[in-house]
Amino acid sequence: MAKSNNNIVSDSLNKIVANTQIVGDVDSQTNIRVDGKIKGTLRVKGKLVLGEKGTIEGEIQCESAEIEGTITGNIAVTGLLSLKSTSRIIGDLTTQKLSMETGALHNGLTSMSTSVSVSTPKQ
The sign of the torsion formed by the CA atoms of 68, 97, 28, 120 equals negative
User: What tens digit of pLDDT does each residue of 60-117 get?
Assistant: 999 999 999 999 999 999 999 999 999 999 999 999 999 999 999 999 999 998 776 6
108: left (phi over 0), alpha (psi -120 to 50) or beta: left
Distance of alpha carbon 64 from alpha carbon 97, whole angstroms: 9
pTM of the model: 0.85
Single-letter amino acid, residue 88: R
User: What tens digit of pLDDT does each residue of 9-27 get?
Assistant: 556 889 999 999 999 999 9
103, 88 contact by CB (below 8 A) = no
Neighbours of 48 (CB within 10 A): 26
